[in-house]
Chains A and B, each alone.
Chain A
Amino acid sequence: MSAAQNGGAPAADGYRSYYGKPVLKEPVWEPIVPAYFFLGGTAGAAASLGLAARITGNAPLARAATYVNALAITASPPLLIADLGRPERFLNMLRMFKLTSPMSVGTWIVSASGLASGAATALELLGRMPRAKLAAEAAAGALGPFLATYTAALLADTSIPVWHEARRELPFVFAGSSAASAGAASALLAAPPQAAAARRLAVAGAALELVATALMQRRLGFLADPYRRGSAAKLTASSGALTAAGTAGMLVAGRSRAGTLAAGTLLLAGSLAKRLAVFRAGFESARDPRYTIVSQRRRVERRAARSQPSSRR
């Protein structure tokens, strides 16, 4: 075959494609979307931490977590709206409630927990109506974990192999990463003596994220290549290093304010880098037709092998 017209002749690694063009379209989302994933996750986990702290009577930590939650969730809607092609139509998001759309479900979660968080924060600042505040904190705290994980569902519910095939692990990655960032942020805000729970959450979250990430990559097999090569690889490596260092730092920092500051910052950066890595990997995965074609072709062959002993090719 000539050099110019590939004619569907196999590429070097044995699969065929249309001029090496992608089968899928890359998302049009900007990096503010993973930034939102990070903020939303942090807000959600912080809300839960706040609630737990409130229930256990750790008011300073509860306050710190509430502020973390409030900051993070307040920053979220502008990011979400800014990424729309028609931002003025953001309210159309509430036109339907669609179980089949993690973005729809997520929008309702963000809206509800945003309202609850807002109320809780306002009442915290005003120092009034403690029962109402508790109710608001309870609502935000209960929704929090899902605010942290629905974004993983959102990515998994696409056709992009590195996201879709990671559908079982990705929510755990996000859950862990959120716990790490919320814990770290709360630990930064709260006084060290009251922040132990936050530090523990940060460490536990980081551990969960690292383990889930490893499992995810193992399941993905060659589909995880975008984490190893290309633009997402650096982010992946950075995220891993930052999170590991942050975890270690958090473990040794104890009540040292400076240590917590350093470790917390590392963890926050690691968490953000993780979301960016996952995000970028999706683009790589969509851009290279190999991921789509080879994985599907293998599936076809497995099916063919199951239905009849000799496969076609």
Chain B
Amino acid sequence: MFGQLRDDPLGLARSARSRRSETLRPRTDRAERVVKSVCPFCAVGCGQLVYVQDGEVSQIEGDPDSPISRGRLCPKGAGTRHFVTSPLREYRVKYRRPHGSEWEQLSLDQAMDMIADRVIKSRRETWQEQDEQGRRLNRTLGIASLGGATLDNEENYLMKKFFTAMGAVSIENQARI
């Protein structure tokens, strides 16, 4: 209260400031690292800065260096932090057995193994060597895949490479849709 006597008789400015306000800093100051990223939503490709603190994303905002976005973001881009930390995000493998009515837990390793087995089995069962006219097919239509437009080029590349070698041709993504 006595601080009001110094150039602030009405107590409207500095004399009302709390200790916390005096020492306040933006939380990005406490980030362990800032990583340059790209917005995961539309195809404009806005630059993002990802701030990491205590092993978690503490802030995501626009990268002013990007000549595309100049640091700006749309609402989705601006909401990216809660996209990667959504309360609905899944962190564990979930498994539903045939005719099951509940999700069950499964280790990642076991899930991977089971999926590999199913790929091999379905491929065997649905393999097409050639068609009725005797034309070479070398393929399976029994395994399909959809997705890729939200993935990295490197991921799409490996998908196309492996599925092609496997003979799976119905490999598709959002570009069709």
A-to-B contact residues, CB < 8 Å: 94-100
- Closest chain-A Cβ to B62's Cβ sits at a distance in Å of 30
Indicate if B85 sits at the interface (CB-CB under 8 A): no
Taking CB as reference atom, which chain B residue is nearest A100? B10
**Contact flags B1-32 to A (C-beta < 8 A → 1, else 0):** 10010000011100110000000000000000
What separation, in Å, do the CA atoms of A95 and B1 have in the docked complex? Answer: 6
Nearest CB in chain B: distance from A309 CB, A = 41
Residues on A with C-beta less than 8 A from B10 are 98-100
Q: What is the size category of the interface that chain B forms with chain A?
A: under 10
Q: Is the CB of A97 within 8 A of B4?
A: yes
Chain B residues near A96: list those with CB within 8 A. 1, 4, 11, 15-16
A sample of 16 cross-chain residue pairs with beta-carbon separation below 8 angstroms, ordered by A number, consists of A94-B1, A95-B1, A96-B1, A96-B4, A96-B11, A96-B15, A96-B16, A97-B1, A97-B4, A97-B11, A98-B10, A98-B11, A98-B12, A99-B10, A100-B10, A100-B12
* Nearest CB on A from B46, distance (A): 31
Minimum distance in angstroms from B74 CB to a CB of chain A: 24
Question: Chain B contacts of A95 at CB under 8 A?
Answer: 1
Complex Cα gap A275–B16 (Å): 32
Which positions 94-109 of chain B face chain A at CB distance < 8 Å? none
- The smallest beta-carbon distance between A93 and chain B, in angstroms, is 11
Chain B positions near chain A (C-beta within 8 angstroms): 1, 4, 10-12, 15-16
Closest to B12 in A: A100
A16 to B171, CA, bound (A): 57
Distance of B6 from chain A, by nearest CB (Å):
13
Q: For B11, B12, B15, B16, which residue has the most chain A Cβ atoms within 10 angstroms?
A: B11
For the A-B complex with A96-B16, A97-B4 known, give 14 more contacts whose Cβ atoms are closer than 8 Å.
A94-B1, A95-B1, A96-B1, A96-B4, A96-B11, A96-B15, A97-B1, A97-B11, A98-B10, A98-B11, A98-B12, A99-B10, A100-B10, A100-B12
A268 to chain B, nearest CB (A): 37
Which residues on the B side are within 8 Å of A100 (C-beta)?
10, 12
Residues of A within 8 Å of B15, CB to CB, are: 96
State the CA gap A129–B4 with chains docked (Å): 38
Q: In the complex, A97→B16 CA distance in Å?
A: 10
Per the bound structure, the CA–CA distance linking A36 and B59 in Å amounts to 46
Give the distance in Å from the alpha carbon of A95 to the alpha carbon of B15 in the complex: 10
Q: Please, how many angstroms separate the alpha-carbon atoms of A82 and B71 in the complex?
A: 46
Output the residue of A95, A96, A100 with the most chain B CB within 10 A.
A96
CB distance from B59 to the nearest CB of A (A): 28
* Closest A residue, CB atoms, query B15: A96
B72 to chain A, nearest CB (A): 27
**In the complex, what distance in Å separates the CA atom of A244 from the CA atom of B68?**
74
Q: Which residue of B lies closest to A104 (CB)?
A: B11
Q: How far, in whole Å, are A87 and B52 apart by their CA atoms in the complex?
A: 36
Write out the residue numbers on chain A whose beta carbons fall within 8 Å of the beta carbon of B11: 96-98
Q: Shortest beta-carbon distance, A167 to chain B, in Å?
A: 19
Q: Quote the shortest CB–CB distance from A84 to chain B (angstroms).
A: 18
